Each structure stands twice: as C-alpha cells, then as structure tokens.
Amino acid sequence: MGPTLPFSRFASPRTGCGRGLLLTLVLVVVAQASADEPPALQPIAPRVAGEPEGSGRIAADAAGRVDPARSSRLSLDERDRLYAQIERDAEELERQGAQLRRLTVLLRPCVVHIDARKPAQKSTRGAKSGDEDEAGSGVIARVADRLVVITNRHVVHGAELDNIVIRLDDGRELRPLRMWTDPATDIAVLTIAGADLVSARLAERDAVQIGDTVLAIGSPFGLSHSVTLGIVSAKGRRDLELGDEGVKFQDFIQTDAAINPGNSGGPLVNLRGEVVGLNTAIASNSGGSEGIGFAIPVSMVMFVARQLVENGAVARAYLGVTLDRTFTQKTAERLGMVRAVGARVSGVTKGSPADSAGIQPDDVILEFDGQPIDDDDHLVSLVSVTPTNRTVSLGVFRGRQRIELQMPVASREQFEPR
C-alpha cells in the first residue's frame, strides 16, 4: 500500500483546510571538492628589518601600531589567481543556467493562466455569498488533432464557459469553446482557438526517474508564468486524500519543486523541455509549498485527454476482481511468498474478464501487461489507463509458483453502468 497522508491540498488558491500534516525537512548537503583549491594564505606584511624569517614579527606603522590580522590576507597576485579560478567555475555553472533559461523561453508560451468564476458553495447555514473566483494554470497541447488546454478539473469545475478566462504569456485572453472533465483523475480539457498558439512537447512515456531535475511552471498565488526548480522526490503515490470528492485513480509523481496554490494544472517539465506531469496537489500545514507537491504522470494525462476529446468520456478497463486491501506478511507466508508484494485476489465476479481468464481467489497478481505490480492500488491505477478491447498478459502467483494468463480487457461500463 502507498503512504496515506492525513491531509493533502489541491494546488489551487481556493481550497479548504484539513488536518495538519507533520512534515520533516531533511537537508542533505553534498560537498564536492574542487580540483583547483584556493591557494594557501601566506603572510604578506614585511618583516621587521634584521629579524630572521619565520620570526612572525610584523613591521609597525609610523605610530608603532601593528595589524594582527595582516598575515591572513591575500596578496594581490593571490587575489588575481582566485578571481581567475572563480571565473572558470562560474562559466561551468552559467552553461547549466543557460539550459534553464532556454527551457523557460520555450515553455512559457505553452503555459496559460486560468481564471474561473463559479457559484459560491453553500455555507453551513445553507446561504450563498455570491460568486467565487478560482485561479489555476494549464498547458497548451495538441490532442487528437485539436488544440486544447489541459488543466485540473477542480480549477474549472462548476464554472460556465463564459466565466472561464484563459490568459496567454503574451497577455491575450481567450475563452474556451468546449470543456470535458474526468472526476476520477481530476483532469479537464478545454478546446481553444487563436492565432500563433504554441503547443507543448509531451514526453512519450513515463521515463522520469527519482532524482531527475524538473521544472514546475504555473501561477502560484496568481503570479502567472512563474518557474520553480526541483527534483522528482518519489513516484507512485497512490493513497492521497484530495478534496471533498477525492481522486479515484492515482499514480502521482512527488516533487520538491515549489508548487503553491495556483499551480494546479500547470506542467511539470524535464530538462529536455518535455511535459512529464500535470501539477495537481500539495501537502502542507501552512497552505504554501513545504517541499511536497504532486503531479499526474503524462501517460495518465494523455490517456484521459484523448478519450475526452474523441469520445467525450473515458472508457476504462475492467478486471472483475475484489482485491485484498490488507494483504499482510502473514497472508503472504500462508500462500508461500516471502513477502507481501503484488495484489491478492479475494473474489472474482462471475462472467467478468478475470473469470474468463481463469483467475481464482487467493491468486496474487504480480504483473499486469508487462508491468510489475507493487500493491492493489498500483494494479487499479494500471488498469484505469489500459485501453479496452484488447488482451493483456498477467503474471500470477498460485500454488507456490508463477503462472501466465491471458485476459481479454472489457470496458468498465459493460459491468458498471454509469
């Protein structure tokens, strides 16, 4: 099972508070020795005439005073050598900084600021106080031959098209022509039209790894097109409590790149300028960035976005199994496993794809369509982004050995009508 956070906020300015999350920041400082160390400091003050070298006595001034710190200062030649070394080191750092500047030039035109005016939610007494404004971010992309803005559903949910303003990097304002949303993943797609619109380059697959450098771009606290830098802190976060409605299908990238309210829907980008995720949520006590942000991986984003544009809804694969959410070490040992890994099946729906494939209670699904399974949430996440009407392979642990099964994938709607 993935870690359960007692509270996690959407990265949007208007989001309710919840229980506090105790966060501990661990700062690891890595020192790298320079191959060209600064020169050793040598005394530069003249010695008193007649004194032997190394006596340590320093000449006094006309008033008979001496400077006891004189021996720790650099000579002019030593200062020049140190400046030269600093210049060489700075050139290397500046080359790395130039890469980040180039990325910013490429990506800012692909990122938009979104303002959405929504009817106010009812208070505890049932009264409304008027409309509310919500701000967020989005990224321009080409999906199914249409130019769209992809963002988070919670940024635009409840707003009419006429009440949504999309602001470009050059100051232009657009209104969306159409909108689709998917509550199960908190993804929304808005179609747009305009001249000289620039679409982002999307990563072809989820190749991002823990430790990779990433940039987050968006509108934290309404400060549009802000860029922050960090690394991928973790992957596969799948048990987060997000908002009142929740997000059913999760497989978040965790990053320490600063994500604040207003970053929702903005892109998480790798050093090649490719979008690897959609910034969605933060875990915070204060309401601001505390180094724990979450982004939806690009594979899930594009799976949902394509289906929304092409079909108006998302068709998800269906297995027809009940999974053991408390798969313990004790149960694993009873089944002949050293540790509890994979997803244990506790029940099978009659007539379902799993039933057709021959899956049985107490089977442990170790692999789905070539992907090793961590736990039940991981399996649910993979199934949720699997196209229907195809056959996938399953690696199953049964009777103290691994077996391979083939399963036809059907749409969830065939068994669980909307």
Catalytic center residues? 154, 186, 264
Contacts with 126 (C-beta within 8 Å, 6 or more apart), sequence order? none
Half-sphere CA count of 289, side-chain side, radius 13 A: 21
Q: DSSP code of 249?
A: S
d(CA 164, CA 173): 10
Phi, psi of 215 (to 5 degrees): -115, 140
Helix (H, G, I), strand (E, B) or coil at 96: helix
Contacts with 195 (C-beta within 8 Å, 6 or more apart), sequence order? none
CA distances from 140 to 247, 270, 275, 277 (A): 23, 16, 11, 13
d(CA 364, CA 341): 8
- Bridge partners of 147, per DSSP, are 142
Strand order in the sheet with 131-143: 173-174, 164-167, 111-119, 131-143, 146-152, 187-191, 178-182
Which letter, b or e, does each residue of 336-373 get, where b requires 16 or more Cβ atoms within 10 Å of its Cβ?
Answer: ebeebbbbbbbebeeebbbbebebeeebbbbbbbeeeb
CA distances from 71 to 52, 68, 374 (A): 16, 7, 63
Phi, psi of 410 (to 5 degrees): -115, 165
Beta carbons within 10 angstroms of residue 291's beta carbon: 18
Helix, strand, coil shares, percent, the chain, to 5: 20, 30, 50
CA distances from 51 to 54, 75, 380 (A): 9, 21, 84
Rounded to 5°, angle at Cα 162 from 158 and 166: 90
